[in-house]
Chain A
Amino acid sequence: MSGNDRDLPPPITRRALMLGGLQLGVIGALGWRMRDLQIKQNEHFHFLAEENRINMRLLPPARGLIHDRHGRLLAGNRQNYRIVMVREQASDPELILDRLAKIIDLPPEDRDRVLREMQARSAFVPVVVQEHLTWEDVARVSANAPVLPGVIPEVGLSRFYPEGWNTAHVVGYVGPVSERDLEKLEDPDPLLQIPRFQIGKTGAEQRLETDLRGQAGNQRIEVSAAGRVMREIDRVEGTAGNDLVLTLDQGVQDFAMQRMQGESAAVSVIDVTNGDIIALASSPGFDPNSFVFGISSPEWNALLNDEYRPLSNKTVSGAYPPGSTFKMVVALAALEAGVANPGETVYCPGFSQLGRRRFHCWKRGGHGSVDLRNSLAHSCDVYYYEMARRVGADRISAMAHRLGLGVRHDLPMPAVTEGLMPDRAWKKERRGEAWTVGDSFNYGIGQGFTLASPLQLSVMTARIATGLSVTPRLVHTMGGVEQPVHPMEPLGISARSLNSVRDGMYTVSNVPGGTAYRSRIDVETMEMAGKTGTSQVRNITAAERAAGVTRNEQLPWNRRDHALFVAFAPYDRPKYAIAQVVEHGGGGSTAAAPVARDILLRALYGELPPMEAYPSEQRSSIEERWIELGFMEPEPVEADPA
């Protein structure tokens, strides 16, 4: 058989051609597919390829700086060295973290958090391991890079507050944006999506957040499939946040904080000529930097449980019964209503009888006959029971509002209190009871329902000093644009009434016998006019009064009276108004007035006041205190030997 085959053509020709045809058909299909993908759908796939390789990254802008009126930095940005870790590049994250812990301080809870976060996110997402590292730490990590795959040092900007404690309440602080912030803000700014992006949490940082934050820039980077950055394609820098200049004088602020050390106290100093807030200090302070770094929970609890309430901004949020500092308001209301004359006297037997109730004057024996000047100088309560009875709650309330009490002043801080300056309608509405004469008596001496913040009291004092509608201003310049001073309109209070009240205030702190005579300023051009106040935080029962009122020193701290003092200076050409509250400090004349006087002098002199400003008999004790507070060297050094 095989012999016959020899003459035949190979039988595979037909089948080979069939198979070849089939193959060519498949090849044709492949070619067609290539045309389809590469020619027809080219644009589509080209777009996808670009999308694949190009990632957008947000560049956080530099947050606006905050300065005081003299250019001292209150809130700045500094380089924040941190290390991040990428799971994909770290062969064995636990091992790497163990190694890292030997190089830098890495608490076990941070280690657990990092492992958790890395599990929860994509393999290529960098997870922050540690922030706020020192340059030395970063250098050590970099030096050990070969045994730390996936560990990457980064540098970013982080907020810091060089003045720390002394401006914490005004400037506030920033912290990492939280889920709650995101819900609350309804802010579409993509920056907030950056993990651990810092936003203002309180104070000006919070209220002026949008101005300070700035605009995000972006960076287009080419990435590999693993998410690794290969190169930067282009970059659009963001716009830095607006810089802020506050009206604060940090020198005065520092002095005030030092002067109030050890007390739960608050002071507000206003420039009466334009409403600029010179100092707004609440003691004790706290360190805002510890919030930026992430506060530890013992530290946080200590702040919360401190009965001196360091986190509270008492100058604007604290509402206190103004006590006798309110007497100018009552006097002005009565004078303007025409129900009293400055020269008219009221007899003070030490109490005022109202039906069966007896309203006491602070001086048990009474002041005898007192006119307006003496009523202020000696702070006679009976005089003001009478004035309040005559003029009535509604007119007192109206005058209080004209003087800036019971009004929420618009300052860039959270929880600015409105205080309370009640009238008859208020009591009817809120308590469902009619206003009584007894309520008016209490109103007359700034007790009862009456509440005001140190800020409001300083505004009140400034308005009495000028007769103009002084309105507080905290932001001096925003992004290079000076913020307008609120127009100062006359309050419509007669000069005669104002002068009578100012004269009384002058007597308080300049005439022997005045309640603040000890706290006078002994420089003729800077004489201070003030008013002391002591507000009760408890009721004194008849039995206690009979047995003799318990002295403040014998009471537990939190039941002692609040000490208050308001003043303006210089008397003949007012520049600054001050309101001082020392919580549970006792009497206004002893606890509040000296502190306020010192702070006022510091503002007036623009530096540590010379000893000549003080009454001669106090100089040695004041010098001692200055040395104690660190304002002065024990042995004064001659500045200029020549």
Chain B
Amino acid sequence: MSMMSDTRRSGPSGLGKIFALNWPLIVLITAIACAGFTMLFSVAGGALDPWARAQMIRFAVGMIAMVIIAMIPIRFWLYMAPVAYLFAMGLLVLVEVMGHVGMGAQRWIDLGFILLQPSEVMKIALVMVLAAYYNWLDVDKVSHIFWVILPLILILLPVGLVLKQPDLGTALLLVMGGGAVMFLAGVSLWYFGTALAAAVALVTAVLKSQGTDWQLLKDYQYRRIFTFLDPSADPLGAGYHITQAKIAMGSGGLSGRGYMQGTQSRLNFLPEKHTDFIFTTLAEEFGFVGSTALLGLYTLVIVFCIFSAISNRNRFGALLTGGIAVTFFLFFAVNMGMVMGLMPVVGVPLPLVSYGGSAMLVLLAAFGLVQSAHVHRPRIRD
């Protein structure tokens, strides 16, 4: 573990760590979260309650957690990676056993102050454990078949549990997030080609299995997929959400209908307007300018993370940062793609904007890890 000596030698300590934080990233995250408060205020009809105030408190708590996590040496998180993974797996099994039933699926554990979604925790834990794995593994062995199967098992175990909930969207995000870490670690592109081919085969199998005894997905999941493929077929049924979301976005135009003036969201045409569909309200009220501005903020978060990863010579820190960046990217890309009718409605929140404690806290904790990796990164020697 040679990196440790580097860290000890060149890392900042004490208060200095505060200055070493990735401040542009903090500013970006805060800006995105503020956009979220603004929209939650709007969809509540111009009121702090029930959403905006609670979201602000969670954000404040999450930011403090983020800084604390950032202050702790990255080495500690390296050791914690397997623990986090086992913890998340335990939670997933727990929801399977005694989950809180909501939205037709068992996804939450009620911790009293928050409804914890284990799959959210797993998104980060999986990235952590894979980053730790590749940190441990010799670079020469990453493409060896045996050393590829091990991480695949690490990915597919939670994916299987999440699919059982069933939560197709999260399962796909886990696969892609885990895959991204493997990709960053340098696993041969042949494997990815093979995986892609296998995915195509799987999709075919899933579609073919519908209506048979071994049907792989729930009926409503099939409905969502088919609705996505042709939303106009059922404009008042399942396709209603997508159609109304597109109307909301499209009616925003260049500069939007004005803050708190969006008729689609004010008049309840939009479903789940404070959670998964909050982007449509923003797009309706602030138009193309507003929606691209938010997209730009997200892009900058990704860019800063990638720069941080590239400049980080700690393999764990670099892989962790890159993996979390991809997970974050998947969040907003899938959410936006979904509300714009580019992807099926899979139930992924808009990161840092959608109302929801679990996702917000997990994401800020993840950025805490990114910050820790950033603060404690070994600098490139002059």
Binding site for B on A (CB under 8 A): 1-3, 5-6, 9-13, 15-20, 23-24, 26-27, 29-31, 33-35, 37-39, 41-42, 44-46, 48-50, 52-53, 222-226, 230
Q: Which of chain B's residues have a CB closer than 8 A to the CB of A5?
A: 2, 139
A12 and B319 within 8 A (CB): yes
The reply to whether B310 and A16 form a contact with Cβ atoms under 8 Å apart is yes
Contact status A30-B333, CB under 8 Å = yes
B302 touches A20 (CB 8 A): yes
B322 & A38 in contact (Cβ 8 Å cutoff): no
A19 and B329 alpha carbons, distance in the complex (Å) = 11
Q: A226–B240 Cα gap in the complex (Å)?
A: 13
Minimum distance in angstroms from A23 CB to a CB of chain B: 5
- Report whether B322 and A45 are in contact in the complex, using a CB–CB cutoff of 8 Å: no
Q: For residue B289, which residue of chain A has the nearest CB?
A: A38
Please name all residues of chain B whose beta carbon is closer than 8 Å to the beta carbon of A12 when the two chains form the complex.
184-186, 309-310, 315, 318-319, 322
From known contacts A38-B254, A48-B251, infer whether A16 and B263 are also in contact, taking CB-CB under 8 Å: no
Contact of A20 among B283, B292, B306, B319 (CB under 8 A): B306
Verify if B269 is at the interface (C-beta below 8 Å from A): yes
Q: Chain A contacts of B299 at CB under 8 A?
A: 24, 27
User: Which residue of B is nearest A7, CB measured?
Assistant: B381
Q: Is the CB of A23 within 8 A of B251?
A: no
A11→B251 contact, CB < 8 A: no
CB of A117 to closest CB in B, whole Å: 20
| Alpha-carbon distance between A52 and B184 when the two chains are bound, in angstroms | 47
Q: Does A17 contact B288, Cβ atoms closer than 8 Å?
A: no
Q: CA separation between A37 and B280, bound complex, in Å?
A: 11
CA distance A38 to B249 in the complex (A): 6
Interface residue? B253 (CB, 8 A):
yes
- CB neighbours of A9 from chain B (8 A): 313, 380
Chain A residue numbers with a CB within 8 Å of B244 are 52, 225
Q: Which chain B residues lie closer than 8 Å to A19 at the CB level?
A: 180, 183-184, 306, 322, 326
Is residue B267 contacting chain A, with contact meaning CB distance below 8 A? yes
B269-302 at interface with A (beta carbon < 8 Å) = 269, 283, 287-288, 291-292, 295, 298-299, 302
Which of B102-110, B221-229, B334-342, B358-366 is near enough to bind chain A?
A: B334-342
**Smallest CB separation, A504 vs chain B (Å):** 81
A11 nearest CB across to chain B (Å) = 6
Residue B129 at the chain A interface, CB threshold 8 Å: no
Q: How far is the CA of A26 from the CA of B250 in the complex (A)?
A: 20
In angstroms, Cα B337 to Cα A19, docked, is 19
Contact of A33 among B306, B315, B340 (CB under 8 A): B340
8 A Cβ contacts from B330-373 to A: 333, 336-337, 340, 342
Tell me whether B62 is interfacial, beta carbon within 8 Å. no
- Asked if residues B288 and A39 are in contact (CB atoms below 8 Å), the reply is yes
A224 touches B267 (CB 8 A): yes
CB contacts (< 8 Å) of A34 on chain B: these are 249, 283, 288, 291-292, 295, 340
Q: How far is the CA of A500 from the CA of B319 in the complex (A)?
A: 128
B164 within 8 A of A: no
Residue among B247, B248, B329, B333 with most chain A CB within 10 A: B247
Chain B: minimal CB distance from A169 (Å): 50
Instruction: Tell me if A39 and B254 are in contact (CB < 8 A).
Output: yes
Q: Which residues of B contact A31 (CB under 8 A)?
A: 292, 295
24 A-B residue pairings within 8 Å (CB atoms)? A1-B138, A2-B138, A9-B313, A10-B315, A12-B319, A12-B322, A19-B184, A19-B322, A23-B329, A24-B299, A29-B342, A30-B336, A30-B342, A33-B337, A33-B340, A34-B288, A34-B291, A38-B253, A42-B251, A45-B246, A46-B251, A46-B253, A53-B269, A224-B267
Give complex CA distance A591, B297 in Å.
Answer: 101
Check if A52 sits within 8 Å of B263, measured CB to CB. Answer: yes
B264 interface contact, C-beta 8 A: yes
Measured CA separation A45–B310 after assembly (Å): 43
Contact of A38 among B139, B183, B283, B333 (CB under 8 A): B283
Most buried by B among A20, A38, A48: A38
- The answer to whether A16 touches B283, judged by C-beta atoms less than 8 angstroms apart, is no
- Given A12-B310, A27-B299, A45-B251, A38-B287 contact (CB < 8 Å): yes
For B6, B186, B250, B306, the residue with the greatest tally of chain A CB atoms inside 10 Å of its CB is B250
Q: Is B303 an interface residue (CB 8 A)?
A: yes
| Closest Cβ neighbor of B294 among chain A residues | A34
Contact of A222 with B251 at beta-carbon distance under 8 Å, contacts A16-B309, A34-B291 already known? no
B342 touching A52 by the CB < 8 A rule?
Answer: no
Q: Does B312 contact A (CB under 8 A)?
A: yes
Would A223 and B318 count as touching, CB distance under 8 A? no
Give chain B residues whose Cβ lies under 8 Å from the Cβ of A37: 246, 249-250, 283, 340
List of 6 A-B pairs having minimum Cβ-Cβ separation, nearest first? A45-B250, A49-B251, A38-B288, A42-B253, A224-B267, A225-B269
Query: Which of A6, A18, A42, A52 lies in contact with B254, CB distance below 8 A?
Result: A42
Residues A17 and B329 in contact, CB atoms below 8 Å apart: no
Which residues of B sit under 8 angstroms from A1, Cβ to Cβ? Answer: 138, 140
A13-B140 Cα distance, complex, nearest whole Å = 16
Distance in angstroms from B293 CB to nearest chain A CB is: 11
Please name all residues of chain B whose beta carbon is closer than 8 Å to the beta carbon of A15 when the two chains form the complex.
183-186
Q: How far is the CB of B323 from chain A (nearest CB, A)?
A: 10
The residue in chain A whose Cβ has the minimal distance to the Cβ of B262 is A49
Interface centre among B303, B329, B342 (most CB of A within 10 A): B329
A45 engages B249 (CB within 8 Å): yes
Whole-angstrom distance between the Cβ of B256 and the nearest chain A Cβ: 9
CB distance B340 to A44 under 8 Å?
Answer: no
| Complex CA distance for A41 and B292, rounded to whole angstroms | 16
Known: A34-B283, A45-B248. 10 other contacts (CB 8 A): A12-B184, A16-B309, A19-B183, A19-B306, A23-B329, A26-B329, A41-B250, A49-B248, A52-B263, A230-B267
Cα–Cα, bound, A15→B186 (Å): 7
| B252 within 8 Å of A (CB atoms) | yes
Chain A residues within an 8 Å CB radius of B302: 20, 23-24, 27
Residues of chain A contacted by B288 (CB below 8 angstroms): 34-35, 38-39
Q: Does B209 contact A (CB under 8 A)?
A: no
Q: B215 in the interface, Cβ–Cβ < 8 Å?
A: no
| A30 vs B248: C-alpha distance when bound (angstroms) | 16
B268 part of interface (Cβ distance < 8 Å): yes
* Cα separation A18 to B322 with both chains bound (whole Å): 12
Instruction: Pick the residue among B250, B269, B312, B337 that contacts A46 (CB under 8 A).
Output: B250
A225 contacts B268, C-beta separation under 8 Å = yes
- Contact A53-B263, Cβ < 8 Å, known A16-B309, A27-B295: yes
Inside 8 A of A26's CB, which chain B residues have their CB?
Answer: 329, 333
Report Cα–Cα, A12/B292, bound state, in Å. Answer: 29
List, in ascending order, chain A residues with CB within 8 A of B295's CB: 27, 30-31, 34
A49 closest partner in B (C-beta) = B251
Establish whether residues A224 and B268, one from each chain, have CB atoms under 8 Å apart when the complex forms.
Answer: yes
Q: Which residue of B lies closest to A38 (CB)?
A: B288
Interfacial chain A residues near B180, Cβ < 8 Å: 19
Instruction: Name the CB-closest residue of B to A24.
Output: B299
B275 to chain A, nearest CB (A): 17
Which residues of A are found within 8 Å of B313, using beta-carbon distances?
9-10
CA distance A31 to B249 in the complex (A): 13
- Neighbouring B residues of A39 by C-beta, 8 Å: 253-254, 288
Q: How far is the CA of A10 from the CA of B247 in the complex (A)?
A: 47
Per the bound structure, the CA–CA distance linking A31 and B292 in Å amounts to: 6
